[in-house]
Amino acid sequence: MGVAIGDLLEKEEITLDSLGNKTLGVDGHNITYQFLTTIRDLNGEYLTNSKGRVTSHIIGMFYRISKLLEENINLVFVFDGKALELKKDTQQKRHDLKIEAETIAKQKKELGEMEDAARYMKRSTKINSEMIEDAKELLDAFNIQHFDALHDGEAQLCAMNVKGQLDGIVSQDYDVLLLGGKDLYRNIGISGKKKAPGKDYYLQVKPERINLQKNLEKLNLTREKLIWLGMLVGTDFNEKIPKVGPKTAIKLVSENNSLEDIFAKLDYKPDFDYNEVFDIFWNPKAKDIELQKFQKPDFAKIKSLLLDKYEFNEDRVNNTLETLEKKITEKKAQKTLWG
């Protein structure tokens, strides 16, 4: 997912407490998928309650949100709307890969190769409407504002960031920068680690900020050329150009003044509407959204939801909520988002 330009970018290591009093946007589908993929049982299956309702993403969101609110970070979630036509090919390919992974996982289980089966089960992660509605219900209990985008959630978040409604965007995907997001915040987790792509081990990571303007200056590029760069290495809306990696791509966009010139130099005839792809990033389609005043979580509602519907451990829920409520109380006298 996203565009593979990470190695070219300048990243600033930060701490979570440095984000206090900021309002950050979160891609709801992205984070839901993240937790559904990583929070599994030993056999690679989703965690569920006694009635079979999936709880993996609710567990992840509850603890992640609680930790970020403890740091006095205001959160706004945006969920994907209707997929753009150009993205449907990408979605279909991802769907086919998930079906393939599901088939392999079943074969591995029949052979008793449970470790391999678990790995392929994670690769078969799919989000359904019930999972999204459950995530939204949890956000409502936390009194966290959430919205549905016209199309991609990150496009909506970037438009809000440009307007000054958000101080930045929490995502692992670098296409936030192509969409004009001013500040991308990555690795904004609570464990200090993330799963290695396609692997079964975790890497130690630290929160980081990637500023669009600083990187345009570092790379000596305009945002227009940054979008060209992304298109050359592949986006959710087009396949990468054959034999062109990030280093070759940046050389090409630096030395040429149009995509047509680049394609001519590569002797490549694009099989996609590159002007349409460019416009998706250059003019992200977004709704006009008005944010309301931030509200404190409804602790009783959160507790009732987690204990009654999802059958969470009562002591763990109480400890987490008590810590959060204490942090909010301590900050109440300060000039903060909670005040």
pLDDT tens for residues 159-193? 999 999 999 999 989 999 999 999 999 999 766 66
Residue 24 phi/psi, 5° resolution? Answer: -115, 140
pLDDT digits (tens, 9 = 90+) for 190-243: 666 666 655 555 677 889 999 999 999 999 999 999 999 999 999 989 999 999
DSSP characters for 73-115?
A: -EEEEEE--SPPHHHHHHHHHHHHHHHHHHHHHHHHHHTT-HH
Cβ-Cβ contacts under 8 Å for 254 (sequence gap 6 or more): 220, 221, 225
Q: Is 298 buried (19+), middle (13-18) or exposed (0-12) by CB count in 10 A?
A: middle
Distance CA 8, CA 73 (A): 29
Q: Is 88 buried (19+), middle (13-18) or exposed (0-12) by CB count in 10 A?
A: exposed
pLDDT tens, residue order, the chain (339 aa): 457 798 999 999 999 999 999 999 999 998 999 899 889 888 888 999 999 999 999 999 999 999 999 999 999 999 999 987 766 666 666 655 656 666 776 676 666 666 766 665 666 577 899 999 999 999 999 999 999 999 999 999 999 999 999 999 999 899 999 999 999 999 997 666 666 655 555 677 889 999 999 999 999 999 999 999 999 999 989 999 999 999 999 999 999 999 999 999 999 999 889 999 999 999 999 999 999 999 999 999 999 999 999 999 999 999 999 999 999 888 765 655 545
- Residue type, position 325, single letter: E
Q: Is 165 buried (19+), middle (13-18) or exposed (0-12) by CB count in 10 A?
A: middle
| Angle (nearest 5°) at CA 298 between 294 and 299 | 130
Distance CA 179, CA 123 (A): 27
66-to-55, 151, 152, 334 alpha-carbon distances in Å: 16, 28, 26, 19
Give the pLDDT of residue 88: 60
- Residue type, position 320, single letter: T
Give the pLDDT of residue 196: 61
Give the pLDDT of residue 29: 92
Distance CA 168, CA 32 (A): 19
SS3 content of the chain, % helix, strand, coil (to 5): 50, 10, 35
Distance CA 297, CA 66 (A): 10
What is the per-residue burial (b if ≥16 Cβ within 10 Å, else e) of 219-243? bebebebbbbbbbbbbbbbbebbee
Token pair in block for residue 329: 């109380």
Sheet-wide strand order for 168-170: 12-13, 208-211, 183-186, 168-170, 23-27, 74-79, 145-148
Give the pLDDT of residue 222: 97
Give the pLDDT of residue 203: 72
Taken in order 267, 9, 283, 33, the sign of the CA dihedral is: positive
Residue 334 phi/psi, 5° resolution? Answer: -90, 165
| Complete domains list, the chain, with CATH | 1-212 (3.40.50.1010), 220-282 (1.10.150.20)
Give the pLDDT of residue 127: 87
Cβ-Cβ contacts under 8 Å for 104 (sequence gap 6 or more): 120
Q: What is the pTM of this model?
A: 0.87
Distance CA 154, CA 28 (A): 9
